[in-house]
């Protein structure tokens, strides 16, 4: 089964739950008197977003964007394609972009520029995983779940070829599978 394709577990389901709870507490504090819009960048962040939303005790809206820059590759092409845009007007709104992983930063740099033209009050980035060793832009996350290694990881929403998203943990994919 799919678990056999994992070299090792990097973040357990329990570690993910604990860290997401802590992020939720941080948002509850930082946005207690605001009405933010949390935007899940699909597909990778949908599990993280759902779990994060259940930790919030503030008024907020949720929205979704579908963005692609990887295609079938293991690295970003740098060409961003938006296939589902926001449903909400974000003018004068506090927007939190929720991502599964901040890698090269190319996609988020594009999204920040794209959304900034709509005049939000603020745009913050919340990423479950930050891989700073691969950064090709100046994008920095405001909220980070974990710093992760420069290894090919899957699970908990992260995929390879649209597979492995359903793993309850984040693990390192065996190299022979993607090489």
Q: Which residues are catalytic?
A: 103
Contact (Cβ atoms closer than 8 angstroms) between residue 68 and residue 99: no
Give the chain's length. Answer: 179
What span, in angstroms and rounded, lies between the C-alpha atoms of 26 and 20?
10
- Nearby residues of 85 by Cβ (< 8 Å), 6 or more positions away: 65
Decide: helix, strand or coil at residue 144: strand
59 close to 33: Cβ distance less than 8 angstroms: no
């Amino acid at each position: 089964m799919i678990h056999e394709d994992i070299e090792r577990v990097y973040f357990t389901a329990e570690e993910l739950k604990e860290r997401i709870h802590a992020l939720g507490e941080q948002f509850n504090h930082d946005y207690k008197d605001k009405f933010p819009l949390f935007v899940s960048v699909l597909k990778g962040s949908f599990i993280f977003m759902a779990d994060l939303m259940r930790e919030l005790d503030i008024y907020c809206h949720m929205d979704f964007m579908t963005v692609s820059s990887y295609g079938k590759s293991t690295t970003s092409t740098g060409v961003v394609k938006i296939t589902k845009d926001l449903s909400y007007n974000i003018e004068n709104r506090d927007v939190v972009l929720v991502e599964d992983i901040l890698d090269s930063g190319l996609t988020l740099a594009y999204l920040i520029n794209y959304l900034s033209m709509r005049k939000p009050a603020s745009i913050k980035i919340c990423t479950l995983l930050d891989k700073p060793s691969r950064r090709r832009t100046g994008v920095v996350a405001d909220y980070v779940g974990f710093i992760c290694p420069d290894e090919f990881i899957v699970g908990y929403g992260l995929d390879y070829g649209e597979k492995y998203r359903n793993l309850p943990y984040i693990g390192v994919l065996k190299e022979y599978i993607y090489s």
